[in-house]
Structure 1
Amino acid sequence: MSLADQVLAVNDDLPIRTDKPVHSGKVRSVYWLTEEDSRRLIKEKGYNVQPDAPLAIMVISDRISAFDCIWHAEGGLKGVPGKGAALNAISNHWFKLFRENGLADSHILDIPHPFVWIVQKAKPVMVEAICRQYITGSMWRAYSQGERNFCGIELPEGLEKDQKLPELLMTPSTKGILTGIPGVPEVDDVNVTRSDLENNFEAFNFRSADDIGRYEQLLEEGFDVISKELAALDQIFVDTKFEFGYVTDAKGNEKLIYMDEVGTPDSSRIWDGAAYRDGEIIENSKEGFRQMLLNHFPDPDILLNKDRMDERFALARDNELPVDALMNLSKTYTEIAAKITGNKIQLSQNPKAEIIAVLRDEYGLID
């Protein structure tokens, strides 16, 4: 079996019973179950949700997205072997720890296969909750060009690249295009301040102004749980993105939960501790792949400049990367997943056939 066969690149063509269009994102595809199937599964499996809660099957892929584009390699390799399973395994591990530490639940109700989650519908908070413990990446680029105010927080002079910040920094940005909020541009992914959230909490889908404090608490506690666990493995949790939403449990209690993925090499920067102490940065995250792309192409501005998106999409579409670029990333993902979870990531021989079998035989979702 070829390497390309072991990669799940297309994940929106599974024969899962649904009466709605399949929503396919950069990495995951979402299949909304029929009302009948949702009710049946809630009853059969005893999920802690309302009897009429809409459920979905969320299938991850091995696609690799960077700079808002999907990349591929020579030889028909359209993803990173082991990436999907590694991302899900890491998220599952952190979500379980969050529950054990009494923080909050996630949107995941069941894990039928390493590539698959059964999730409940949540009303998302329209904030990408970004936490930073070190100054690097886009924040360092802005700081080095003289910017000192980030999301209403003033940074001191004299910080150096990759230095630990005086305190954990929360720098939220908009999730999607929000309209009619004073002082917040109507574009995706723009930084907002805490006072923007407080003054317009309903526009950001918060139930109350008090929930802003609750989201910050969950952000800080979640970051702390992951950071301590990684420190025990001599890994540094540099920065990350969390997403939140509201759901209602079986007893009718509405609660704020974690959603999407957490603490993964896709949503976070993770550095090797020993290398950092020696003055070197070894990325155990997607950041290394981003750097490779910036070095690989003669005009890196295409990847950094949002005014050149058409050129960027063409670059990703028309260029086959060296196979090594994706295999190095595969090693990064699978090794950090094994380190975090304590379990080796097994590559599926045929992930699509496995998913179809389990959803048909154990969940009755495929005819």
Structure 2
Amino acid sequence: MNLADKVLAINNDLPIRTDAPVHSGKVRSVYWLTEADSARLVEEKGYNVPSDTPLAIMVISDRISAFDCIWQGEGGMKGVPGKGAALNAISNHWFKLFKEQGAAESHILDIPHPFVWIVQKAKPVMIEAICRQYITGSMWRSYVKGEREFCGIELSEGLTKDAKLPTLLQTPSTKGILDNIPGVPAVDDVNITRKNIEDNFEAFNFKSLDDITLYEKLLTEGFDVISNALSELDQIFVDTKFEFGYVKDKAGNDKLIYMDEVGTPDSSRIWDGEQYRAGKVVENSKEGFRQLLLNHFDDADILLNKDRMDEREALARDNELPLSVLMDVSKTYTEIAEKITGSKIELSENPKAEIIKILREQYQLID
């Protein structure tokens, strides 16, 4: 079996029993279970949720996305070996740490396989909850252009690229395209202020004004838990994106929880501490891949300019990246995952067959 066969690139074709279409995102696919299977699993597995909670199987892939496009490599390599397992392992590690330290729970109820989560249905808060400890990325690009207000926050003069910010900043953006919110353009990933959220909290799916303060508290707490743990490994937690949503507890009450992944190389920037102190930024996250793409193509504006999306999609579709590029990304993901979790990331021989076997034999979700 060659290496490309060990990559799980297509994850929306598993024969899982479901009544709804499979929802496939950039990296994960979601299978909503039938009402009968959801109720059966809640009872059989003793999940701490109401008996009528809808459940889903969430399957990660090894696909690599950047600049809102999926990229591929030569030799039929449709993803990055080890990436999916590394992402899930890191998220699982942080969620476990959150639980141990009394932070909020996540939507994950069970982990049948390194590529698979069983999750409960959550109503997402329509905010990309972003926290920044250093000035880099889009914030730095805005700062260089002379902008001194970012998400309603005043930035002081004299900041330098990649420098630590005086305080931890929360710089939210919209999750998806939200229509008819005063002062908020109907564009995906547009920066918003706290006042935007307060004035329109229901449009962002918050249950109350107080829950805005709660989400900010959970964002800071989650950031601090990960940042402190990474600093013990001499890694710097630069910035990150969390997502939040509401679920019902066993008594039927709403509670705000963490959704999706946390503290991964896909959702965060992580820098090597030793190299940073020596004046060099070494990325242990997807940011290194983004920078490589910006340098790889002649016209970087295609990747940065949302008005050139058609050209960008053609670039991703028509260009196979050198195998060495994807293997470098694989090394970045697996090494940081092993550093964080203390366990080796093993490449599955045939991840799809393994997943089907487990979901059939242990969960009776495949006929």
Q: Aligning the two structures, in what range does the TM-score lie when normalised by the shorter sequence? A: over 0.9
Q: Within 2, Cα distance between the matches of 1:254 and 1:99?
A: 18
Q: Within 1, Cα distance between the matches of 2:39 and 2:170?
A: 39
Residue type of the alignment partner of 1:157: E
Deviation string for 1:316-363 (max 9, x for gaps)? 000000000000000000000000001010000000000000000000
Partner of 1:71: 71
- 3-state secondary structure, aligned to 2:118: strand
TM superposition shift of 1:250: 1.2
TM superposition shift of 1:16: 0.3
Partner of 2:116: 116
> TM-score w.r.t. structure 2 length?
0.99
Q: Within 1, Cα distance between the matches of 2:347 and 2:99?
A: 28
Partner of 1:351: 351
Q: Within 1, Cα distance between the matches of 2:259 and 2:50?
A: 18
Q: Within 1, Cα distance between the matches of 2:316 and 2:239?
A: 26
Q: Within 1, Cα distance between the matches of 2:318 and 2:198?
A: 45
Partner of 1:299: 299
Q: Within 2, Cα distance between the matches of 1:185 and 1:305?
A: 17
Residue type of the alignment partner of 2:315: L
Partner of 1:6: 6
- 3-state secondary structure, aligned to 1:57: strand
Partner of 2:312: 312
Partner of 1:43: 43
Partner of 2:19: 19
Q: Within 2, Cα distance between the matches of 1:185 and 1:71?
A: 29
Deviation string for 1:236-275 (max 9, x for gaps)? 0000000000000112221100001000000000000000
- 3-state secondary structure, aligned to 1:258: strand
TM superposition shift of 1:58: 0.1
Partner of 1:330: 330
TM superposition shift of 1:100: 1.0
Partner of 2:163: 163
Residue type of the alignment partner of 1:337: A
Q: Within 2, Cα distance between the matches of 1:304 and 1:179?
A: 24
- 3-state secondary structure, aligned to 2:29: strand
TM superposition shift of 1:177: 1.2
Q: Within 1, Cα distance between the matches of 2:196 and 2:316?
A: 36
Partner of 2:228: 228
Partner of 1:53: 53
Residue type of the alignment partner of 1:148: R
Q: Within 2, Cα distance between the matches of 1:256 and 1:34?
A: 25
Partner of 1:183: 183
Q: Within 1, Cα distance between the matches of 2:154 and 2:179?
A: 27
TM superposition shift of 1:68: 0.4
Q: Within 2, Cα distance between the matches of 1:252 and 1:318?
A: 50
TM superposition shift of 1:181: 1.3
Partner of 2:341: 341
Deviation string for 1:138-164 (max 9, x for gaps)? 110110110110111000000000000
Q: Within 2, Cα distance between the matches of 1:151 and 1:315?
A: 31
Partner of 1:143: 143
- 3-state secondary structure, aligned to 2:75: helix
TM superposition shift of 1:73: 0.5
Residue type of the alignment partner of 1:238: V
Partner of 1:266: 266
Deviation string for 1:182-217 (max 9, x for gaps)? 111111111111111111110100000000000000
Partner of 1:206: 206
Q: Within 1, Cα distance between the matches of 2:35 and 2:20?
A: 11
TM superposition shift of 1:179: 1.6
Deviation string for 1:118-138 (max 9, x for gaps)? 000000000000000000011
TM superposition shift of 1:315: 0.3
Q: Within 1, Cα distance between the matches of 2:149 and 2:186?
A: 20
Q: Within 1, Cα distance between the matches of 2:3 and 2:242?
A: 32
Residue type of the alignment partner of 1:338: E
How many residues end up aligned between the 2 structures?
367
Q: Within 2, Cα distance between the matches of 1:12 and 1:181?
A: 33
Partner of 1:174: 174
- 3-state secondary structure, aligned to 1:20: coil
- 3-state secondary structure, aligned to 1:245: strand
Residue type of the alignment partner of 2:255: K
Q: Within 2, Cα distance between the matches of 1:12 and 1:172?
A: 30
RMSD: 0.5
- 3-state secondary structure, aligned to 1:75: coil
Partner of 1:88: 88
Asked if 1:247 corresponds to 2:247, the answer is yes
Q: Within 2, Cα distance between the matches of 1:176 and 1:328?
A: 31
Deviation string for 1:26-52 (max 9, x for gaps)? 000000000000000000000011101
Residue type of the alignment partner of 1:90: I
Residue type of the alignment partner of 1:216: E
> TM-score w.r.t. structure 1 length?
0.99
Q: Within 2, Cα distance between the matches of 1:294 and 1:195?
A: 34
Residue type of the alignment partner of 1:143: Y
- 3-state secondary structure, aligned to 2:185: coil
- 3-state secondary structure, aligned to 2:335: helix
Q: Within 2, Cα distance between the matches of 1:43 and 1:174?
A: 36
- 3-state secondary structure, aligned to 2:176: coil
